Amino acid sequence: MDQAQEEVGVIVLGAGLAGLTAAAEAARRDSDVVVLDVRSPGGRARSDERDRYIFNQGPHAVYRQGPGAAILADLGLHPRGALPATTVAGWKDHRLGLLPTSATSLIRSPFVGWRSKAQLGRLLVTFPRLESGTLAEMSAAAWVRSLGLRDDAASVLSTLIRVATYAPDLEAIAADAAVRQLQLVQTGGVSYLHGGWTELVKGLVEATTKSGGRMATEERAVNVAQAHTGDPSASWEVRTSARTWVSRAVIIATGSPAAARSLLPFDPDWSLGADATAACLDLGLRHPPANLAVFGIDQPLYLSTHAPSAKLAPKGAALVHVMRYGARSSESDRAELWEFAQGAGIRKEDVVVERFLHRMVVTHSLPVPGIGLTGRPPVAVGGHPGLFIAGDWVGPIGLLADAAIASGQAAGQAAAAVSNGPSLPIVDERRAG
């Protein structure tokens, strides 16, 4: 029995940050938009509330001067948040000390000698002027080596890159992406969002629906194919269990490259890097810890207190994320994170609620050395007019949420142009060649 068909201007598959940004962008450009695969709006940007503590999916922050913040503002969204702690401790050889993250802390830090402090001081002055786009050929690790820093200074710089990029292995990420992230930290810093990232997700959903977009919450795409209706205003079909949607423009924003591949009617030629993963121990505490932020120097570890800076916990309480860059086994990672938390001054008796994410994909497909940001798959799928992709691994702009939002905006704009523009010819691939 043939399925019912429904025509629509733009179909968006996926309701993470990329998909919702794409939908909001296309909808405000007067396109008739429907979003499918809305099982959990926000994807990795959703938040969970437990005993009045609001947990994001691991530690999330908005780069205040990043492309994502500018795009959200253009959509009328201004998520409220707070700056993190300004004093950061380093953790090396199981001891704490001030980590050099500014000129003042550099002078006082016990982790670098005077010659290394002079090297890092010169780098801090020249760093904002670096042309990050010229560094795509080398890895972040190779770039650090090229600076000729002493070992202790190189270790500190590598720690800061890891925190900014979430890359467990600095050999696996292109230097252009890493340097650009550090520049965003230095020029604007980050914000922890009040109420969690769910508030941002709600804003994107509202921006879409206010402009007439629809959220098809019960429909999941199982197939994307070239349409053969003979109607030049409808060139793609998306099949769900309920119906077949027909559209001139489809945006695949289903999360991972593997999920996108599974829907495409062909095998794309993408050059992709490794995913950045993490193990994360989320702790709701009765009160803030003595050390609000601690970054591992000789181990890929991170601890940051997101509340009370942001409104994510009851008054007087605290919410802390403890993370290992690069997930291994659940048992070993959880034990290491608890040891790290205790070394930073957190006692188990202070914990009200606890959650462990044993393997979290922080971002898909880090930019590959030798290719860099501009070598990531473009939003427009070549040779297939009206077909687009979006995600944190797509397009030449940004990392992490910035990449998802930027590619979503670009896909939404391009899809709206196709939807609202002149008719496209239908290519019958069964007769081609």
- Residue 298: both structure tokens together: 């000789």
Q: What is the mean pLDDT of the chain?
A: 92
> Residues 125-167: pLDDT tens digits?
888 889 999 999 999 999 999 999 999 999 999 999 999 999 9
pLDDT at 433: 29
- Residue 312: both structure tokens together: 């994510």
> Residues 187-241: pLDDT tens digits?
889 999 999 999 999 999 999 999 999 999 888 888 899 887 555 556 899 999 8
Pick the more confident residue, 226 or 170.
Answer: 170
pLDDT at 231: 57
Q: How far is CA 180 from CA 17, 362, 419, in A?
A: 21, 18, 34
- pLDDT score of 425 more than 90: no
Match 């403890």 to its residue by tokens.
Answer: 322
**What is d(CA 78, CA 421) in angstroms, rounded to the nearest whole number?**
31
pLDDT at 14: 95
Backbone CA torsion sign across 397, 401, 406, 411: positive
User: Is the preceding omega at residue 369 within 30 degrees of 0, hence cis?
Assistant: no
pLDDT at 430: 29
Cα–Cα nearest to 298, from 336, 252, 261 = 336
**What is d(CA 135, CA 21) in angstroms, rounded to the nearest whole number?**
29
**What is d(CA 250, CA 415) in angstroms, rounded to the nearest whole number?**
7
pLDDT at 426: 37
Task: Say how many Å lie between the first and final Cα of the chain, rounded.
Answer: 31
- Whether the model clears a pTM of 0.85, i.e. scores above it, the answer is yes
pLDDT at 429: 29
- Residue 394: both structure tokens together: 């797509």
> Residues 307-344: pLDDT tens digits?
999 999 999 999 999 999 999 999 999 999 999 999 99
> Residues 37-89: pLDDT tens digits?
877 788 899 999 999 999 999 999 999 999 999 999 999 999 999 999 889 99
Pick the more confident residue, 103 or 299.
Answer: 299
The beta-strand segments (E) located in 227-379 are 236-240, 244-247, 249-252, 276-285, 293-296, 301-307, 318-325, 351-363
β-partners of residue 56 are: 47
- Residue 99: both structure tokens together: 């980590």
C-beta neighbour count of 349 within 10 angstroms: 6
